[in-house]
Amino acid sequence: MPAPPDPFILALTPEATALAKQVKGRIGGEVSLPKDGVPDLLREAFLAGRPIVGICAAGILIRSLTPVIASKWAEPPVVAVADDGASVVPLLGGHHGANALARDIADLLNGHAAVPTAGDLRLGVALDAPPDGWVLENPLDAKAATAALLAGASAALSGHAPWLQTLAATQTPTEGSAAVLSVDGAPPLVYRRRSLVLGLGASRGADPDAALGLVQKALADAGYAPGEVAAVASVDLKSDEAAIHHVAEALGVEARFFPADRLEAETPRLSDPSSVVFAEIGCHGVAEAAALVAAGPDAVLAIPKQKSKTATVAAAVLGPTPETGVAAGHLSVVGIGPGTPSWRTPEASRLIAEADDLVGYSLYLDLLGPLAKGKTRHDFPLGEETDRCRHALVLAASGRRVALICSGDGGIYAMGALVMELLDTGDLPPAARRVGLTMAPGISALQAASARTGALLGHDFCAISLSDLLTPRDAILKRLKAAAEGDFVIALYNPVSRRRRTLLAEARDILLAHRPEDTPVILAQNLGRPEEMITHRTLKALSVDEVDMLTTVLIGASSSRAFRRGDIRGGAGGIWAYTPRGYDKKGTL
């Protein structure tokens, strides 16, 4: 699993700043002292799953986060702290750490933790939040058990669960990795201690559901529950095998991987070494060896190798000194939109927050602002795109979670296609080809430019880059002519550079031969940034001198229209542009 996101600590006054530094010293994270944009910063942190400590009025947190609150099962902790530290209130995520966080901060500041959760207050424990290393089989049952206990019901505890002992009138010590709290009038709560490491081998392309079925049967036959599994382990050559990751996700644990030579060292402890497996990958077994290595040198097999046509499974009891192996590396190609945090998707914020490393053009990394703090940055200049993508893939192959940052959408004139090309045909180490991959879409410049000025992309449109660094000039001109003849709305990317000043003028002249001189044109510079400037022109009046490298040019089709409104709070100086779909022909206007 990725490391939990760093806490986000908000301070709005000098007094709050001093407290924020104390809180950071206890819980870590990042202190933010914003002068503006507070709601956006809070929403971004919340959607990224970061614990939030606001040293401010609770109302600021409530009003800022209300638009993005969805499920209580997924929300991060949100805690409000008074400016003098006297009161600490968990607002959200009480059983996801907010109650404990509030108590910890109150203890630090000699304040009072105003924990409003009834179970925590009167019972002293949250039944749906067991300690690390334990899992509750059916968390939804905790609500009924809590209500019954608060109403005076009696409870009995079997097994070893010290955090529950004060609730039970009777206690029965039992062997094994389970503890059961039986509350009169409520379903029993079954807690499992994560005490097994599951070793898993799989043929290339093994059916994920079949592998999970094999695991479930092996556990059941041996008298173990899925909740007792602490990790899934395998050989590093299988770090991209879908079946292994499917099993780990189904069990709610992390998959870890070891090199074949490390597994080979466990051959004397294997119940059934295989020369066939050795010939293929360099070790005499995967499932048993991976389980034993990950469980530690003193571990013993709890489940000898079981196999199906495409998978093998074994399990070992977790020892006191387990080996962690390496997590499967992951690369996220993240489109952050044109620049403003409010145009960044929740998925993008989450992937950046989960990343260990950020790779990208320096300007794009700078645009992340506070979200980049605490991450290892790998800055690359323009012109080193291939090196940038290769570095991100190789870095991910070492077991890191890497975010490759792109402006706009990562798959539109950005690094997404280059990453795919490297994976397909590039010179990469084998491990780099096995990294997990997420392509996170973002708001593109063409979308943002159209939205800022109306709906110029309301009908068929295309995008053409005028950069001839990678595309021959003749090919660009051919595409411009085809788009002109097809009467598409056109978004022109990379319209000019320091040395390239004529292609935009040629594009204008080509289009003038196919659409009216008063066709709307939008020049969008520095979209979503403080320097943003939107200019409306006609096709005839389009001048190259008004365009720079940070401009996206939208050129309407022959049917596109522009009109002026008295409201000048939007559009380009009160001028709005759109391309009708043809509803007027249906008589519905």
pLDDT digits (tens, 9 = 90+) for 528-587: 888 889 999 999 999 999 999 889 999 999 999 999 887 656 666 788 999 999 877 776
What pTM value is reported for the model? 0.82
Q: Does one domain contain both 341 and 210?
A: no
Q: What is the pLDDT of residue 507?
A: 96
pLDDT given for residue 491 in this prediction: 97
What pLDDT sits at residue 1?
Answer: 46
Q: What is the pLDDT of residue 69?
A: 84
Instruction: Check if the beta carbon of residue 492 is closer than 8 Å to that of residue 464.
Output: yes
pLDDT per position as a tens digit, 379-434: 999 889 999 999 999 999 999 999 999 999 999 999 999 999 999 998 999 999 99
pLDDT at 2: 52
Question: Does the pLDDT of residue 249 top 50, yes or no?
Answer: yes
Q: Is the per-residue pLDDT at 370 higher than 80?
A: no
453 & 580 share domain: yes
Q: Is the pLDDT of residue 36 over 90?
A: no
Q: Has residue 126 been placed in a domain?
A: no
Q: In the sheet where 436-440 sits, what is the strand order? A: 376-380, 357-361, 401-406, 330-335, 436-440
Is residue 75 assigned to a domain? yes
What CA–CA distances, in Å, run from 59 to 9, 74, 123? Answer: 16, 22, 29
Same domain, 557 and 452: yes
The yes-or-no verdict on residue 25 having pLDDT over 60 is yes
- Structure token digits, residue 223: 């008298």
Residues 249 and 321 in one domain: yes
DSSP-based three-state secondary structure for 335: strand
Among 17-21, 65-69, 71-75, which stretch is predicted with the lowest mean pLDDT?
71-75
Is 214 in the same domain as 297? yes
Interval 459-502: pLDDT, tens? 999 999 999 988 999 999 999 999 999 999 999 999 998 888 89
| DSSP class of 572 | B
In a domain, 72, yes or no: yes
Residue finishing a domain among 271, 306, 326:
326
The number of distinct structural domains making up the chain is: 5
What DSSP element (H or E) covers 62? helix 58-65
- Considering the domain architecture, whether residues 450 and 579 belong to the same structural domain is answered as yes
Distance CA 290, CA 411 (A): 37
pLDDT band at residue 68 using 50, 70 and 90 as cut-offs? confident
Quote the CA–CA distance of 397 and 239 in Å, as a whole number.
10
124 assigned to some structural domain: no
In a domain, 369, yes or no: yes
Average pLDDT, the chain: 91
* Rounded-to-integer distance, Cα 417 and Cα 436, Å: 16
In contact, 302 and 197? CB cutoff 8 Å: no
Q: How far is CA 137 from CA 142, 145, 167, 181, 476, in A?
A: 10, 14, 19, 12, 60
**Chain Cα centroid distance, residue 373:** 16
Does 71 score more than 80 pLDDT? no
- 98/152 same-domain check: no
Which residues does residue 87 pair with via DSSP β-bridges, in sequence order?
Answer: 112
Identify the burial level of 402 via C-beta atoms within 10 angstroms of its C-beta, where 0-12 means exposed, 13-18 middle and 19 or more buried. Answer: buried
Instruction: Provide the CATH number for the domain around residue 539.
Output: 3.30.950.10
The residue from 284, 304, 326 where one domain ends is: 326
Same-domain pairing of 241 and 311 = yes
Name the residue range of residue 210's domain.
196-326
On whether both 53 and 39 belong to a single domain, the answer is yes
Judge if 439 and 451 occupy the same domain: no
Q: What is the arithmetic mean of pLDDT over 314-342?
A: 91
